[in-house]
Amino acid sequence: MWAKALSAKDFQNHPPPAILHAQNQSSISCQPSSPPPLVLPEHKPQLLYFHVDINSCYASCERILDPSLNGKPVVVLSNNDGCMVALSAEAKAMGYRLGEPWFKVKEGAEARGVIARSSNYELYGDISNRVMEVLREYAQGFEQYSIDEAFLTVRLSTRQAAHIARCIKDDIARRIGVPVCVGVAATKTLAKLSNKTAKNVPHLGGVCVWNLLPSGRRAHLFHHLPVDQLWGVASRTRKKLASMGIISIGDLATADLSTIRKRFSIVLMRTVLELRGTSCIPLEPVRKFKDQLIYSRSFSYPITDREDMAQVMSVYAQRASKRLVRDGQQAKLLTAFCATSFYGENMVFPTSAVRLQARTADPAVLTKAALTLLDRADFDGPRYARAGIMLTDLAPGDSSIAFEMFQYSHERRNVASLISQVEEKCGEGSLGLGRAGFTRKPVWEMKRELLSRRGTTHWDELVRASVR
């Protein structure tokens, strides 16, 4: 659909913005340490949204520490090496799809040269943080939307925006080593659409400034792209819109606002306004407290033993505690659960909910609460395939405590923060309480047999260079 919307022929007389405005830009530096002037006399500046997205994020991260993967089809697998959750462009071109079970295609894929990797969450998270730090250097306003994408706001003219977008793309490639696409527009919705355009139309060189596309090309995009190509419009909404005769993005952009709000919601009405160039979706606050925290994993081997499940609950509760400390939050309600396989004949799903005496992130308190699940679970027959901890009724960790007597003694000693600091210096699992203080990886831990090096977060896995 994108090839039909914008083809190479359309750009014979309209080169990409980065090429079109390369001249007269020599005085503008790409280095964020010396920001470019924000006003050019012949162009009026305005607040513009930049949407930056890492291309094939997981596969691109894998290629940083293993350049031999460049140009080869790469797939990244889910927990326990189950399904394909990320594909490089080469793997997509070979017809592989997200969500396909690896065991079904493994033999044929390997014969075709496809390289599989287990999910290296430590590497992906660290590379994401590095990319976000670079983007913050360019931004006046910033919102990290997911692990691989972010919105920035900068007050620029559209001509300057094309140059800065190219600088962002080149700077991340040079400093981090991952490819990104950049979309720029007056609203978040249009910036997202611009990024998709940059990603799907090679002639744009990975950068699309919406207002620098010829008006006929913008209209052509609106006419040919279906409405579910828009940010926030799911298939269910698409079907309902189709029943009203709204098929393309252009149809939605010209729809009656009151009808859209009445039949759908104010959220979709804002999308319509954003398509018309009116910014209605601001950047989210820098720090947004979560309503709940869930730590849940599947096991590499089923658990049938009470002692093994006690170790699982101890480990998961302390990892949940670490996340609370990281987010600056405390919890009042802990729910522990385990379950047999979805595909078994009689699924068993025991749960245990404990309302704590006071809000806390203390690992000892959370571990004790999680272990109450053992009295609810049956270990005489069920083979448990997964388990988890859910923490709710969260509040900021620095909120005042009404009565000192309700504060846990461990809280005053900052045990949770101490464990987090030790693990940050010595690695995950270097310190734990009770059954979580193991020195060997338990057999039930998530299987990652194709795991690559975690060369940016683990000292013993640093990449080594040899001089010949």
pLDDT tens-place string over residues 281-316: 999 876 556 788 999 988 888 899 999 999 999 999
Q: Does residue 138 contact residue 152 with C-beta atoms inside 8 Å?
A: yes
- pLDDT computed for residue 284 by the predictor: 85
- The average pLDDT across 28-54 equals 63
Q: Which residues pair with 51 in a beta bridge?
A: 151, 183
Local confidence band at 430 (pLDDT 50, 70, 90 cut-offs): low
Q: Round to whole Å and give the CA distance between 235 and 271.
A: 16
More reliable by pLDDT, 231 or 407: 231
pLDDT more than 90, % of the chain: 57
Return mean pLDDT, the chain.
Answer: 84
- pLDDT computed for residue 41 by the predictor: 39
Look at residue 316 and give its three-state secondary structure: helix
- pLDDT computed for residue 20 by the predictor: 38
Q: Retrieve residue 320's tokens.
A: 């949940």
- pLDDT computed for residue 15 by the predictor: 47
Q: Retrieve residue 311's tokens.
A: 């170790």
- The average pLDDT across 94-111 equals 92
Residue 403 pLDDT exceeds 80: no
Residue 450 pLDDT exceeds 90: no
- pLDDT computed for residue 14 by the predictor: 46
Local confidence band at 240 (pLDDT 50, 70, 90 cut-offs): very high
Counting beta carbons within 10 angstroms of the beta carbon of residue 333, is it exposed (0 to 12), middle (13 to 18) or buried (19 or more)?
Answer: middle
Kindly list the distances between the CA atom of residue 245 and the CA atoms of 220, 234, 241, 251, 275, in Å, as whole numbers in the listed order: 18, 16, 7, 8, 18
Q: Does residue 209 contact residue 218 with C-beta atoms inside 8 Å?
A: no
* pLDDT single digits (tens) 136-193: 999 999 999 999 999 999 999 988 999 999 999 999 999 999 999 999 999 999 999 9
User: In which residue are the tokens 């939050």 written?
Assistant: 329
More reliable by pLDDT, 67 or 35: 67
For domain 293-436, give the CATH number: 3.30.1490.100
Residue 381 pLDDT exceeds 90: no
- pLDDT computed for residue 63 by the predictor: 94
pLDDT more than 70, % of the chain: 81
| Range scoring the smallest mean pLDDT among 34-38, 229-233, 383-387, 394-398 | 34-38
Residue boundaries of the structural domains of the chain = 293-436
Half-sphere exposure of 366 (CA within 13 A, CB side): 38
- pLDDT computed for residue 410 by the predictor: 57
- pLDDT computed for residue 401 by the predictor: 52
Residue 436 pLDDT exceeds 70: no
Kindly list the distances between the CA atom of residue 291 and the CA atoms of 285, 313, 327, in Å, as whole numbers in the listed order: 15, 22, 12
* pLDDT single digits (tens) 338-370: 999 887 778 899 999 999 988 899 889 999 999
Counting beta carbons within 10 angstroms of the beta carbon of residue 130, is it exposed (0 to 12), middle (13 to 18) or buried (19 or more)?
Answer: middle
